[in-house]
Amino acid sequence: KTITSKGGGGTASHCRQKSTRRGHDTAQEVPPPPGATRGMALKKKGGKKKETDPAELANVEKLRFAEVEVAVLQQRLDVKEHETATARSAERDWRGQVQTYGGQLAAQREDALDITADMSRQFQTMQHRLQIQVRWTLKTLNLEP
> How does residue 5 score in pLDDT terms, banded at 50, 70 and 90?
very low
pLDDT given for residue 57 in this prediction = 74
Buried-state track 67-86, b at ≥16 Cβ within 10 A, e below 16: eeeeeeeeeeeeeeeeeeee
Is the pLDDT score of 16 beyond 50?
Answer: no
What pTM does this model have?
0.41
State residue 65's pLDDT score.
92
Q: Distance of CA 141 to CAs 41, 51, 127, 136, 138, Å? A: 137, 133, 21, 9, 5
- Coil, strand, or helix at residue 19? strand
Q: What pLDDT is recorded for position 58? A: 83
What order do you get walking across the sheet with 2-5 strand by strand? 2-5, 15-19, 26-29
Please say whether the beta carbons of 18 and 4 come within 8 A. yes
pLDDT digits (tens, 9 = 90+) for 47-100: 555 666 777 778 888 899 999 999 999 999 999 999 999 999 999 999 999 999
pLDDT of residue 60: 87
**Residue 139 pLDDT > 70:** yes
pLDDT digit string, tens, across residues 31-40: 655 655 555 5
pLDDT at position 22 is 55
